[in-house]
Amino acid sequence: MLSILILTTRLMTPTWRNINWLSPISWDVFGYYLYLPATFIYHDLGIKNFSWVQHILNQYSPTIGFYQAYMGPAGDYVMKYPIGLSILYSPLFLIGHFFAYTLGYQADGFSLPYQIAISIGSVIYTWIGLWYFRKVLLRFFSDPVAAVTLLIIVLGTNFFELTTLDNAMPHNYLFTIFAIILYLTIKWHENPHFKYAIPLGILCGLAILIRPTSGIIIIVPLLWDLWSKKGFLKKINLIRNYYGQVLCMMSLIAMVVGIQLLYWKIHAGSWLYYSYEKGEELVWIAPYLSEVLFSYKKGWLVYTPVMSFALIGFLLMAYQWAFHKNRLKPDNSLEPTTRIFIWRNTFLPFFLFFIFHLIIVASWPTWWYGGSFGQRTMLESYVILAIPMGIFISYLFEWNKIFRLPLIIIIIFLVILNLFQTWQYFNIIIDPYRMTKPYYWKIFGKNSVTHQDKFYLEPLEKADDREGLPKSDHFSATVLAYYNFENADPSNVSAFCTDTVHTGKFSMRLNRRNEYSPGISIPYNQLSQQDFAWVQACGYVYFRCKPEETGIALVITCMKKGIAYKYRLISLDKENLKPNEWNQVCMDYMIPYLEDPSDIVQAYFWCRGNQEALVDDIEIKLFEFP
């Protein structure tokens, strides 16, 4: 039934009809997928001829700005994302290619048949993952507990959104791979055989090939059954007795990962190559942990609160692991004592996987990971987190009604809340990028959003966006700063001009030695006590060169701990200004909702070019409703 629900939801959200960046093969997916048309259609994996990529960008608009590949040191374009996901896409690509030819669509890798093939094919991968996921759950729990756990993971988390609307992303595929790896790990430790060792090695390698950080899944088979000294010795003997299978697994992992290394050697000129941009790298160790867990922008436990019970399940596992090491013995049934034994001896690999996964997720500077519902990078970890979740459910079934009933009501409420918020996300009431705490509560439980509500969203991050101060008689205006430079600094005479002024006796020179004009740099809570306010910066500019050579700009921005956000810049070379006369320039800027009112508001003129310009009579005002 869940599989049918996922398919039906995917069919009801036919994003393949979009011929733009909302289509299935867009943004990051476009980058993961690009290997396939480059290889099989255009025969140009190094993108030596960029014209075919430009044609795709022009015709289908799958992304805003081409960031999916960069020019490498060997002269070829090098794909930003690893090759692994394109391997899983390949049968879907071939199906789309067949139907494109058969039905008369453009066989260019991006027309409608390819989009549908990737979308529906990703649902099939989800089905496979759910099938193995249920088989894993039944190895740990009774049928009722496994069923409840499965329902909570699918309907109570962002699993549902990420396997329907955004199902072509790598997290859906990694969930399936992790589920199969966990199943094969159990089977191999019960009955070591090449029929388990071979696919286990291939899938571990493929997980690395999709996202190198996903290689931490190897922790699970590596530390499986290591719950005591006895378990450690048992694992050593197992490896010694079946070293041929272990070597086979290791060799297959290396061979699969070698596909990426070979690609880099051919197109980047070296076996190891960092394909992301400079500055896009992990920042150890988990500096964004609180944001990943609790931020209203993308906090995992804010948008998937039901997973808090999985964390409680870890505590129950830890208790069994610490205090019942020698009291329980395994048997061949799923009696409670056996289940507790299994829970205990799997605590170490599951808990360490979760900790390392969370550290990696919280060490990436773009910790919100683009547009998604909640923390999309946590999806693949649900295969592991389902076990402590199931343990919590098992205990819940055995607790007194006084404790059980309220917890059951809370879980049901959180599942319903998740489904409703998933609907909100589908209808862009929950914004994929710009959520804030006040906006979250403004739209909590709503089926529509007002224009006033949207003021509480994070600001758009496009530097050249222009805003206009609303016309209203209710604004109160305050002059924050006024600079006419009549009190010129005698110690810095070269920074001022006397022969060309707008008013008075002095104007200010902006050039390479003196790049920035005076302006404001004030904490917002010293400017206003309102949620929102406007800043207007005006000044007069004079230059003698061509307008495009001035390089002068007017900047207004907010600053948080030295990092700019809602950065707005008017490049004056695009303002149709006239040389050899004074030109007035103004910018209106709505200060966004600031979670920290002590964030700094700045406004100033900035000379970025080699040609000198003069500024005079700079006035900066604050507008707010009293």
* Residue 446 sits in the same domain as residue 390: no
* Residue 231 sits in the same domain as residue 371: yes
What pLDDT sits at residue 129? 97
Let me know if residue 470 belongs to a domain: no
Where residue 337 falls among pLDDT bands split at 50, 70, 90? very low
Least confident residue range of 16-25, 35-44, 217-226: 16-25
Q: Which two tokens stand for residue 218?
A: 């190897």
* Residue 440 sits in the same domain as residue 368: no
Using one digit for the tens of pLDDT, what is the confidence trace for 466-504? Answer: 888 887 777 889 999 999 998 877 778 789 999 999 999
**Mean pLDDT in residue range 98-107:** 96
**569 backbone dihedrals φ, ψ, rounded to 5°:** -140, 125
Long-range contact pairs involving 198-201 (C-beta distance under 8 Å, separation at least 24): 198/248, 198/249, 198/252, 200/249, 201/248, 201/249, 201/250, 201/251, 201/252, 201/253, 201/256
| CA nearest to 182, candidates 138, 214, 217, 211 | 217
What pLDDT sits at residue 463? 66
What pLDDT sits at residue 13? 85
What pLDDT sits at residue 592? 85
CATH number at residue 530: 2.60.120.260
* Residue 284 sits in the same domain as residue 422: yes
* Residue 391 sits in the same domain as residue 503: no
Let me know if residue 471 belongs to a domain: no
Where residue 18 falls among pLDDT bands split at 50, 70, 90? confident
| CA nearest to 163, candidates 132, 206, 125, 203 | 125
* Residue 420 sits in the same domain as residue 431: no
Let me know if residue 338 belongs to a domain: yes
DSSP code string of 351-363: HHHHHHHHHHHTT
The pLDDT > 70 percentage for the chain reads 96
Alpha helices in 242-281 (DSSP H): 243-267
Let me know if residue 111 belongs to a domain: yes
Q: Which two tokens stand for residue 466?
A: 């222009």
Residue 443 clears pLDDT 50, i.e. is over it: yes
| CA nearest to 577, candidates 603, 554, 599, 596 | 554
Using one digit for the tens of pLDDT, what is the confidence trace for 509-522? Answer: 999 889 999 999 99
**Mean pLDDT in residue range 234-240:** 92
Rounded CA-CA distance 297/291 in Å is: 8
Rounded CA-CA distance 439/595 in Å is: 11
The pLDDT > 90 percentage for the chain reads 71
Enter the pTM of the model.
Answer: 0.84
The four Cα atoms 359, 363, 366, 372 give a dihedral, to 10 degrees, of 0
Residue 227 clears pLDDT 90, i.e. is over it: no
**How many domains are contained in the chain?**
3
What pLDDT sits at residue 451? 84
* Residue 265 sits in the same domain as residue 140: yes
Higher pLDDT, 83 or 337: 83
* Residue 311 sits in the same domain as residue 450: no
* Residue 448 sits in the same domain as residue 315: no
* Residue 342 sits in the same domain as residue 486: no
Show the domain range for 445.
427-458
Using one digit for the tens of pLDDT, what is the confidence trace for 311-333? Answer: 999 998 888 776 655 443 333 34
Higher pLDDT, 566 or 88: 88
| Residue 336: Cβ within 10 Å count | 12
Residue 136 clears pLDDT 80, i.e. is over it: yes
Residue 461 clears pLDDT 80, i.e. is over it: no
**Mean pLDDT in residue range 342-368:** 91
What pLDDT sits at residue 169? 97
Residue 439 clears pLDDT 50, i.e. is over it: yes
**584 backbone dihedrals φ, ψ, rounded to 5°:** -85, 135
What pLDDT sits at residue 326? 43
- Average per-residue pLDDT for the chain: 91
Residue 554 clears pLDDT 60, i.e. is over it: yes
Taken in order 304, 309, 315, 321, the sign of the CA dihedral is negative
* Residue 133 sits in the same domain as residue 269: yes
Least confident residue range of 195-204, 410-419, 528-537: 528-537
Using one digit for the tens of pLDDT, what is the confidence trace for 176-197? Answer: 999 999 999 999 999 999 999 9
Let me know if residue 503 belongs to a domain: yes
Let me know if residue 447 belongs to a domain: yes
Let me know if residue 155 belongs to a domain: yes
For 451-515, where are the E strands, in sequence order? 476-483, 496-497, 507-510
| CA nearest to 429, candidates 413, 412, 414, 442 | 442
Tell me the CA distances in angstroms from 362 to 295, 357, 402, 403, one per residue in order: 12, 9, 37, 34
* Residue 431 sits in the same domain as residue 417: no
